[in-house]
Structures are given as structure tokens and as C-alpha cells.
Amino acid sequence: MIKISFLGGLGDFGKNMTVIEHGGALLVVDCGSMFPEADIPGIDLIIPDFSYVLDNADRLAGLVLTHGHEDHIGAAPFLLKRLPMPVFASRLTMGLLNRKLSEMGVEPTSRTILEPGRQVGAGPFTVEGIPVTHSIPDAMSLAIGTPEGTLLHTGDFKLDQTPLDHRLTHYDRLQELGRQGILAMLIDSTNVEIEGMVGSEIRVRDTLDRYISAQDTNKLIITLFSTNLMRIQAIYDLAAKYQKKVALFGRSLVQNTRVGEEVGYLHIPGGVSIAADEVSSYSPEDVIILVAGSQGEPQAAMTRVAFDECKNFGVEEGDHLILSARIIPGNEKRVARVINQVYRKGGEVVTARDDRVHVSGHGAQEEIKMMASWIRPKYYIPVHGELRQLKGNATLAKQMGYDDAHILVSDLGESLTFERGEFASRGEVPTGSWLIDGDDTDPVDRLVVRDRRHLSNDGVVVPIVVISRQEGRMESEPEIISRGYPTLEGATDTVDEVKSDLVAMVRSLSVQEIRDSSILKAKVKSTVKRTLKRNEARIPLIIPVVMEI
Amino acid sequence: MIKISFLGGLGDFGKNMTVIEHGGALLVVDCGSMFPEADIPGIDLIIPDFSYVLDNADRLAGLVLTHGHEDHIGAAPFLLKRLPMPVFASRLTMGLLNRKLSEMGVEPTSRTILEPGRQVGAGPFTVEGIPVTHSIPDAMSLAIGTPEGTLLHTGDFKLDQTPLDHRLTHYDRLQELGRQGILAMLIDSTNVEIEGMVGSEIRVRDTLDRYISAQDTNKLIITLFSTNLMRIQAIYDLAAKYQKKVALFGRSLVQNTRVGEEVGYLHIPGGVSIAADEVSSYSPEDVIILVAGSQGEPQAAMTRVAFDECKNFGVEEGDHLILSARIIPGNEKRVARVINQVYRKGGEVVTARDDRVHVSGHGAQEEIKMMASWIRPKYYIPVHGELRQLKGNATLAKQMGYDDAHILVSDLGESLTFERGEFASRGEVPTGSWLIDGDDTDPVDRLVVRDRRHLSNDGVVVPIVVISRQEGRMESEPEIISRGYPTLEGATDTVDEVKSDLVAMVRSLSVQEIRDSSILKAKVKSTVKRTLKRNEARIPLIIPVVMEI
């Protein structure tokens, strides 16, 4: 019997996680995170509820990662911290994971680099990575062998004939696997609503070439996903071509480029790289600044640059900001706020609506169908999408001749069971979301909470700051509401300390910062956290409330 | 001297409000609201900070409304409640305003219907409404005469040659006004990024005709803005043509269609209309249901239908949901959640991405330029947009030959002063956002708060409910955090009452409802409010917190 269980990535975009079982052993494919919507107070990250894996801790064959994006590896440190197990991944993916693990002080039991064309064993499974093109280098599809048949998980893929790293999809191997026979294929549905092919990354490089060559009086600020190392490489190469300098701003960018260099996926030309604090010693037209935070996150690099919170440089008249990234649904308002601010300062903004400054890493309809025609699996399982995309992908399968019995549209928390090479039944597995607060490595989860009778024991602190938007200042003393957090219960000294730290923090802000409730909320939270840390190791859930009057 | 002050609608979409001053008198143009982002706890509506108007209460000439959309009239009852003043609007706009006023128990001093071609006096101003096409009937541009020159405010407009109500834009009058000379034009910038013309509403009707004529086994559920009376009329007419029935679901839809009928802008054919509770007595293929809540608001009609919270009908296998509305940025996630749910239940969803089921009410580049070439104002003032759109509109003006000195890009809280027919200076006026909590008619604003030393006096209650997502039930007793609200301070009886009402409310919910934190949050808030109302007239700010574990 083979059982495939979906703990994330279906029914919603983000936190991809699939469990494959055979003969009593579990193989986990991907373990990603997602960012919460703005309205979950005090929560910074969402990871899959992987209690199903914890409950089967004695039967783990390992964790295989398809590529290094957050929605595929972001929750892996949380899983590996609880349950050390062998990890299988390509070189760059492993490098990005290692960075996360060392930040959180987690050590996996063994790490195996997946090399193209080589099968490795993982319990009763064999695992082979097949290189595919995507928006991060070293992405792979996975062929997962079991005694009852082979599964193919496409991972995230597109079919780019001119990828900037010149590493093409291994078409021959995919077709060979298809000829050998695939029981079931799990296939990326993200861009199923786009006709044709999604387009090559080279078109973005050509657009950026145009902007960099035309840059003659202004700074060029480019924001992109910090995992997009091919595009980052291209920008360094273009900078060298036009004798410009490149500075990085944002922790994830600095760290990911370092990993990229270490594992040999990024080659920074000599004399191009400068530090963020050197920007002001060059003429604006000689500097390209790459900034993280393309989704307009309040505390991230792009927002800080736009709102003059970066001490080294800001947006000045005539500067260009290029948004070389997709705006993830839900983030439109935050990004629009940044764009608005750049215009307010006399800058220009170029988005994917204006010019070809971004292209998706996920294949469109023709790419999905081409993959399917090579693999020709017995069962077609759309993954990586909301129900709309999964059903859209099922429609493509029907066009290709699959009947309803061989297309398995599934959902979060569902499992599909196969027996003797045939689909047998659907089932349910426990799943959902676990919420991560701040820098904690332990989720605010049911295992932690299980022994607690009451939220009051959890410890919650609600700092409330009242702001006069018009006058750009605090209207009254901050209020601290707390419950079940002994440090603050009755300890008026600490409460006063928190309050006076908040007052000092708000005094240090500009009127503009005070007026921006999302920035202010983040700062209220970090200030309270810092003050509490001085007094106690345990930090409660902090729910900052900013009221504008 | 003429002074134009922007209290809303520039630098952000929504809550449009402009003040025009001459000779010591103030004329207010539009007074709109906007919906808060999801992350402002306890706040249901945002209105402009109109303290500038309140501070000049003795010099008010009146309030003129361009059309009946929420972002133009939604804050008017709040203003008129504080400051009775004459109101000028077209027939339908006045009808929609009257409904709002009577709901809030507010009475304006005098109401004047603007008739095309007729100037009316308002203090030292003359006001004339010029019919323009938009996505609501009876929209108008305004010619505002002053002794120092005439201003033209386009309002929201497009140039639709085949509007469903056959009321064309009064081209001749606009051109006549242009020939007579316009000092400054305030012009809609919303769709400045779209080339060509935005397209006629008739294309949407033709698409809906296709879906309604093809409807043969399923219910057809159409969601749209409840002010879009022309499209609503078209659907009733199509229903009559194909012998279908139409039911309405959602308070705003029911009320706005009633206003539409009363003022003669909606003519419902006989025998077509049925009540929501009659839907189940007809075959699904004979029923079209119009639902409000196109933005996926948690408590609104569309969401309730998708999540089986409407007692009369739900989404069944094969049903179609047509999203005949624009998704306002910031609402993508909520709408996606509803779409996902419809697919989960076996329905189909048609959005503007799939088919021509929506067209914007705002003109694109060619329409903006055409309006400008008729009016040919001395000063060109882009309004109704974020900075990006305002600057984009300025670029169009440059293409038409305006120099920088005659294009006045302004921003929220700015004023522009003209003397002797020339632009003189920029200034600032106090502005910002006032926040409205629930059904209160008084904003949570600085005037109310002015006498309060402290937030604690404001009264705030934070009900916290901890939910086990996996088990779909409450994990522990609810916690009630309160501050400055005497009813709960030390009164354990009332606290216990609130808690037991919350427990009972959660018990009455389905697992699905409990898992949906946005629905649950709204229910927690309304439950607490109801319980408190039993004990005291004063209701505090309620900040519901739902924690999922």
C-alpha cells in the first residue's frame, strides 16, 4: 500500500508538505512555511501542523526537499528540531537549509546531496532528483521509487530554454522515467490559468540591462526575492558590464548571496560589490542597490528605504525603484503604500505591469501539459494551488485524455491510498496551521498548550499606544494589558519600565513613522519584547495595538 | 482668493473629500468612507478627519455630492450629524443619502436636487451638475462657479456610448463650459494606467446574457456592488427574457434596489422577483440569486452563502458564482477564500479574469484626455488616486501640452490657493483618518477623546478565544481582558455572563465556522457587544482575539 497525505500546499498557496508512506515507513517531501495575513495578532510565521509526522516518529525514512524557497523549506528547522531525520536535497537547497538550521541551533542526523542521475535509498524508498528550471537554482523534480510503483513529484517548475544559469531541465531523464512507467504524478498547478508558456528569465535580464544602461543621473534600487540567485547574478554581471557598483540591503539578501557563493551558485565579479554604508561615496548613477522585502513587509528593507529608515541612503528625486518580483496576494496594500511613498519623494517605480521586470518561476498550461505528456502517469494529481488551480489543472488532464477516475483532485488534510498499482481510497489526516511567534523556535502549538488549562497561563501582553495622527505624537501614556504573565502581574516596576521604554521609543520616531501604524505596531512589539527580556527569559505572546485618533 | 483643500481621495483610494473656499465660505465636495485594512482591530469604517470643516462651521455653503458610491457619500451622515448644512445632489444620489441619514437619524437642513443644465446658488458659489456615465446611475461632473473663475470637478466618470440606462454624458455642456473658460479642473485619475478606453457596460450585459441563457441545471449566483443599479436592472431584464426568477440576498442590495425603484431608476419586470426563502421552491436552473459582499467580507452575503450560513440556500454541485465586480486591493485573500470554498463544494467560479463579467466605471487614458480636451482648463489637477496614478495623469497632461507650472499634483492634507486667476501657493490643512467602531454614529475621534486623559477611560475589552483548529472546538474557557470599562472591572458576574455567552455561541457553531478565524472573530465581537448591552448603555471598544492552536 502507498499512502500520500497532504499536510500543506493544497487548498491554499504556501507551506507545502506531503507525506509518502509505504510498508510502515514515512518519507516527507518538502516542509514549507507561509506568512500570516495581517490580522493574526502576534504571529510571524505559519507552518504546517505536522503532528501526523510526530505521531509516527518511529517510522521516518527522511525529509526530501525539492528546492530552497521558503514555502518548501521554511518549516524544516521546526520539524528537524523535534525529529532529527536524514535530509535529502540538492546542493544549494541544502546550503540554504543549513543556514536556517545553524541560526536555530538545529542539527539533522545526516544530509545527502541529491546528484542528478543517482538514486539514493531512504528506508524502503529510492529517491532521485531530476533537475528542472525554476526561479531559484538547483530545483528538482523527484522520482520516488517504492516496491509498488514509482511516484513523480514535479516540484515547482517551468520549462525555460534559456535559464540564466544554463542548467536546462533534464528532459531526457523525465521521458525515460515516463517510459519506465509512473504510478502517480504530483504536478505544480500554480500557473494553470495562464495560456502558452510563462516566458524565460532571460527577458527579465534584457529589461534590467535596458534600465541599467540608461541609468545616468539616479540611483537604481531593485527589489527581488532574496532566493532568486540567478537574477542576482545577472544584475552583478550587468553592473560589471556598465561599470556600476552593487550594494545589498536586507539580511536575507546578504545571507542568501553568501550561501550562493559558498556552494558555487553565485560568482560576484571583482570590484563590483560595495557595502551599504559606501553608497553615499559614489555618484548616484554608479550605484545599483538590491533590497529585500519586495512584499512591503513593514520592517523589511524596501519599506525602510522608502520611509527613510535606512541610515545609509534613501529615495531621492529621480531615483528608480524596480519591483522585480511578484506581489503575493494579500500584500497589495502594503506594497502600494511603499510605491506611493517613493512617488511622494519624487522617485519613479517600475513594476511588472509597466515592463518585463519579473517573470514567474512556474510553468503555464503548455509547460504543464508537456511535463504530463513526458511522464504520462497512470494517476494525475494536481498539487500546489488553491482548489481553483487544482481543478483547472484537472481540466488540462481531461484535455489530454485522462478520465475522471485517473485524475485525483485532493485537498489539505486528505490522503490518497493506492493498492497493487490502483487507486484505492481517500482518507483524512490531522493537519492545519501552527503559529510561530517571533524568533521562538517552538510553535505556539497544541503540544505546548496541551498541558495548560488556560490561556492565562500562556501569558499574553497587550501593549496599547494611542496616537494622534494629526499631531504625529502619542496622545496619552501607553497602556499595558496583561494576563497570565507573572512578570507583569502586580509588578508595577516592570510595567512602568515597559511604559517608559515605549514612550522613549515613540519620542525617537519621526512624525511620519508614528503615522504609519504598521511600522509603529512592529516597533511597539519589539520594544516590549526587549524590555521583558531584561527581566525574564520567558516571553509572552505580545499583541501590539496602535489606536489612531 | 480660491482655496482647494484635499481631505481625502488623494494619495490613497477611498474617502474622497474636497473643500473649496472663496470669500470666507466653504463648499464641501463629496464626503466618502473607506473600509479599514484587516489589521485595525475593532474598527469597521474609516472616514476623513473633517475637523477642518468643523473648525469653520460658521462659514459653510453646503455639501455637493457627485454620485452615490460609498467612497463619495459614506461619511456624509457623520458630517451632517455634526453640522447640518444644505446638500446638493442628483436624484438617485440624494435617495441613497436619505436612506443613510434616516438609518442614522440625521436630518439635513435643506436638500436640493441638481438638475442638468440648471445652476443653483450655494453661498457665494454656483453649482451645476453635468451628467456623466459611471458605474452607478445619475453620476455628475460639477461646474462650481466663483467670482474669480469656474472650477470643474469631473467626479468619477467614463465615456460610455452605450450605457444601460441610455443616459449619455452631456458632451455639449462640457464643451460649452470649456469654451467659456475653466480656471482649474479636478480630474479622475483611477484608470490612468489603462490605455485606450475602458469599455462599455453593455459588454458585461452581453456576457451575463450568455451565462443566463446557458443556465440549464444549476443555480446562478451573481455578486456585484449593490449600487450598480444599471447592471442589476440588466439582470432583471435578462431574467424576464429567459423566464427566470431573481432573488436578492444581502441588506445593502435589498435597500439600494428599493431606493432605485422609489426614485425611478430601477424598473423590476412583473413576476420575476422572488424572496430569498422562496428559492428552494424553484428548480435551480430557474433561479438567479444576486448577493452582496463581493469583497469577501466575513459577515457579508457572498461569504455566508459559500460557507452555508444562509438558511435559505447554499452552493451546490454545478452552481455558478459570477464575480461581477472589481476586487479592491487588500481584499484578494478574503475573496480567494470564498472562491476556494465554492470549488470545494463542486461549484464553478467566473471572475473578470475568465470572462467579461465586469468593467470599470472609470475612464482610461483616451477618456481622460478627451475630457481634458473639451474642458481645456488653465490648471490641471489630478485627483482620485494614489500618487502613482496622480503622477500618471500629470504625464497625460504633459502629452497634451500642459507645462509643469499648470499641472498641480497634490496630496492628502494639501491645499492649493489661487489668486486673481493664477495659482498662488500650496499650504497644509489638518486631516487624516477617523475610525468608526461598529454601529456607532460617533467616530472614535480626537474630539471625543480630547477630554479623556487616558485610554483606560475609553473602555476597551479584549475577549480572547482559543480554538483548536484540528478539533474544531474551543480549547479553554474564554478570557476577557478589560481596562477602563467599569461594567467589567471587578464585576465578576458580568464577566462570567460574557464568558458563558461566548461558550454558548461557540457551541452553536459548526466546525467549519470555528475554523474560520475571521468569521469567528466577528461573532465573538457581536456576542460580547450584545451581552454588554444587556448590562449598560455604554459599549466599549471591543478587540476580539481568536487564537488558533
**Interchain contact B475–A (C-beta under 8 A):** yes
Compute the distance between CA of residue A45 and CA of residue A34 in angstroms, rounded to an integer. Answer: 6
Tell me which chain B residue has its CA closest to the CA of residue A435: B549
Chain A CB contacts of B38 below 8 Å:
37-39
pLDDT of residue B481: 73
Q: What is the pLDDT of residues B388-409, one digit of tens each?
A: 999 999 999 999 999 999 999 9
* pLDDT of A324 strictly over 90: yes
Q: Which of A509, A408, A446 is nearest to A4 (CA)?
A: A408
Judge: B38–A41 Cβ closer than 8 Å, yes or no. no
Give the residue-averaged pLDDT of A87-113: 92
Tell me which chain A residue has its CA closest to the CA of residue B331: A330
**Interchain contact B472–A (C-beta under 8 A):** no
Instruction: Please report, for chain B, how many H helices and E strands are present, in that order.
Output: 17, 27
Compute the distance between CA of residue B498 and CA of residue B478 in angstroms, rounded to an integer. Answer: 9
**Interchain contact A395–B (C-beta under 8 A):** no
**Interchain contact B483–A (C-beta under 8 A):** yes
Strands B460-468 and B45-48: unpaired
**Probe site for chain A from B342, B388, B549 (most A CB atoms < 10 A):** B549
In chain B, residues 25-44 whose CB comes closer than 8 Å to chain A: 37-41
* pLDDT of B332 strictly over 80: yes
Q: Which residues of B are identified as catalytic? A: 188, 362
Reported as a pLDDT band with limits 50, 70 and 90, residue A446 is very low
Compute the distance between CA of residue B358 and CA of residue A481 in angstroms, rounded to an integer. Answer: 47
Chain A CB contacts of B545 below 8 Å:
41, 543
Tell me which chain B residue has its CA closest to the CA of residue A449: B549
Q: What is the pLDDT of residues A279-323, one digit of tens each?
A: 999 999 999 999 999 999 888 999 999 998 888 999 999 999 999
Q: What is the ipTM of this complex?
A: 0.71
pLDDT of residue A441: 61
Angle of helix B91-104 relative to helix B251-262, nearest 10 degrees, comes to: 130
Reported as a pLDDT band with limits 50, 70 and 90, residue B453 is very low
Reported as a pLDDT band with limits 50, 70 and 90, residue A39 is very low
**Interchain contact A355–B (C-beta under 8 A):** no
Cell digits for B201?
Answer: 457596460
pLDDT of residue A330: 78
pLDDT of residue B329: 80
Chain A CB contacts of B455 below 8 Å:
464, 466, 476, 479, 547
Q: Is A145 helix (H, G, I), strand (E, B) or coil?
A: strand
Chain B closest-CA separation from residue A337 CA (Å): 9
Q: What is the pLDDT of residues A192-208, one digit of tens each?
A: 999 999 999 999 999 99
**Interchain contact A328–B (C-beta under 8 A):** no
Compute the distance between CA of residue B181 and CA of residue A479 in angstroms, rounded to an integer. Answer: 57
In chain B, residues 58-117 whose CB comes closer than 8 Å to chain A: none
Q: Is B146 helix (H, G, I), strand (E, B) or coil?
A: strand
**Interchain contact B452–A (C-beta under 8 A):** yes
Tell me which chain B residue has its CA closest to the CA of residue A344: B387
Chain B CB contacts of A521 below 8 Å:
39
pLDDT of residue B283: 96
CB B104 within 8 A of CB B152: no
pLDDT of residue A449: 31
In chain A, residues 124-143 whose CB comes closer than 8 Å to chain B: none
Cell digits for B392?
Answer: 500618471
Compute the distance between CA of residue A372 and CA of residue A222 in angstroms, rounded to an integer. Answer: 36
Q: Which of A344, A433, A469 sits opposite B411 (nearest CB)?
A: A344
Reported as a pLDDT band with limits 50, 70 and 90, residue B452 is very low
Q: Which of B35, B45, B46 is nearest to B330 (CA)?
A: B35
Q: What is the pLDDT of residues A521-539, one digit of tens each?
A: 888 988 998 888 887 766 7
Chain A CB contacts of B332 below 8 Å:
329-330, 332
Q: What is the pLDDT of residues B487-500, one digit of tens each?
A: 565 567 888 899 99
Compute the distance between CA of residue B147 and CA of residue B124 in angstroms, rounded to an integer. Answer: 8
pLDDT of residue A450: 30
Q: What percent of chain B has pLDDT over 70?
A: 91
Judge: A435–B387 Cβ closer than 8 Å, yes or no. no
Reported as a pLDDT band with limits 50, 70 and 90, residue A26 is very high
Give the residue-averaged pLDDT of A479-495: 68
**Interchain contact A435–B (C-beta under 8 A):** yes
Among residues A188, A319, A437, A516, which one is catalytic?
Answer: A188
CB A153 within 8 A of CB A65: no
Q: Which of B157, B111, B110 is nearest to B130 (CA)?
A: B157
The residue type at A379: Y
Judge: B38–A39 Cβ closer than 8 Å, yes or no. yes
Q: In the A/B pair of chains, how many CB contacts fall below 8 A?
A: 157
Residue B127 main-chain phi, psi, to 5 deg: -130, 130
Those residues whose C-beta lies under 8 Å from the C-beta of residue B284, and which sit 6 or more positions away, are B217, B218, B219, B316, B318, B319
DSSP string over A389-408: HHHHHHHHHHHTT--GGGB-
Q: Which of A433, A435, A545 sits opposite B543 (nearest CB)?
A: A545
* pLDDT of B456 strictly over 50: no
DSSP string over A486-544: TTTSS-HHHHHHHHHHHHHHHHTS-HHHHH-HHHHHHHHHHHHHHHHHHH-S---EE--
- pLDDT top residue among B537 and A68: A68
Average pLDDT, chain A: 89
Tell me which chain A residue has its CA closest to the CA of residue B448: A549
**Interchain contact B349–A (C-beta under 8 A):** yes
Compute the distance between CA of residue A384 and CA of residue A10 in angstroms, rounded to an integer. Answer: 6
* pLDDT of B262 strictly over 80: yes
Q: Is B529 helix (H, G, I), strand (E, B) or coil?
A: helix
Judge: B470–A387 Cβ closer than 8 Å, yes or no. no
Per-residue b or e along B510-546, where b marks 16 or more CB atoms closer than 10 Å to that residue's CB: eeebbbbbbbbbbbbbebbbebbeeeeeebbbbbbbb
pLDDT of residue B477: 77
The dihedral region occupied by B278, where left means phi > 0, alpha psi between -120 and 50, and beta the remainder, is alpha
Q: Which of B11, B329, B430 sits opposite A332 (nearest CB)?
A: B329
Torsion of CA B488, B489, B494, B497, to 10 degrees: 70
pLDDT of residue B437: 66
* pLDDT of A99 strictly over 90: yes
Q: Which of B117, B192, B144 is nearest to B377 (CA)?
A: B144
pLDDT of residue A519: 82
Strands B120-122 and B111-113: unpaired
Torsion of CA A131, A136, A137, A139, to 10 degrees: -20
Specify burial of residue A382 (Cβ count, 10 A radius: 0-12, 13-18, 19+): buried
Give the residue-averaged pLDDT of B326-339: 87
Q: Which of B411, B464, B470 sits opposite A446 (nearest CB)?
A: B470
Residue B185 main-chain phi, psi, to 5 deg: -115, 130
**Interchain contact A194–B (C-beta under 8 A):** no
Chain A closest-CA separation from residue B176 CA (Å): 35
CB A245 within 8 A of CB A282: yes
Q: Which of A282, A348, A269 is nearest to A315 (CA)?
A: A348
Q: Which of B411, B409, B413, B385 is nearest to B395 (CA)?
A: B409
pLDDT of residue A453: 27
Compute the distance between CA of residue A419 and CA of residue B308 in angstroms, rounded to an integer. Answer: 36
The dihedral region occupied by B108, where left means phi > 0, alpha psi between -120 and 50, and beta the remainder, is beta
Judge: A549–B430 Cβ closer than 8 Å, yes or no. no
Which residue carries 439600494 as its cell? B256
Compute the distance between CA of residue A248 and CA of residue A195 in angstroms, rounded to an integer. Answer: 36
Q: Which of A39, A391, A468 sits opposite B343 (nearest CB)?
A: A391
**Interchain contact A444–B (C-beta under 8 A):** yes
Give the residue-averaged pLDDT of B203-231: 96
Helix-, strand-, coil-residue percentages of chain A, each rounded to 5:
35, 25, 40
Average pLDDT, chain B: 89
pLDDT of residue A489: 57
Compute the distance between CA of residue B467 and CA of residue B48 in angstroms, rounded to an integer. Answer: 36
Which residue carries 485595525 as its cell? B40
Which residue carries 528608480 as its cell? A320
Judge: B340–A431 Cβ closer than 8 Å, yes or no. no
**Probe site for chain B from A39, A518, A525 (most B CB atoms < 10 A):** A39
Judge: A483–B483 Cβ closer than 8 Å, yes or no. no
Judge: A475–B445 Cβ closer than 8 Å, yes or no. no
**Probe site for chain A from B10, B39, B435 (most A CB atoms < 10 A):** B39
Judge: A432–B470 Cβ closer than 8 Å, yes or no. yes
Judge: A477–B460 Cβ closer than 8 Å, yes or no. no
Judge: A456–B479 Cβ closer than 8 Å, yes or no. yes
Compute the distance between CA of residue A401 and CA of residue B329 in angstroms, rounded to an integer. Answer: 39
Compute the distance between CA of residue A126 and CA of residue A124 in angstroms, rounded to an integer. Answer: 7
Reported as a pLDDT band with limits 50, 70 and 90, residue A493 is confident
Chain A CB contacts of B480 below 8 Å:
none
Which residue carries 481582558 as its cell? B481
The residue type at B9: G
**Interchain contact B547–A (C-beta under 8 A):** yes
Chain A closest-CA separation from residue B178 CA (Å): 31
Q: Which of A387, A452, A549 sits opposite B344 (nearest CB)?
A: A387
CB A503 within 8 A of CB A423: no
Q: Which of B38, B51, B454 sits opposite A37 (nearest CB)?
A: B38
Give the residue-averaged pLDDT of A383-388: 95
Q: Is B99 helix (H, G, I), strand (E, B) or coil?
A: helix
Compute the distance between CA of residue A521 and CA of residue A523 in angstroms, rounded to an integer. Answer: 5
Cell digits for A485?
Answer: 504573565
With residue A235 as reference, give the H or E element that holds it: helix A229-241
* pLDDT of B41 strictly over 50: no
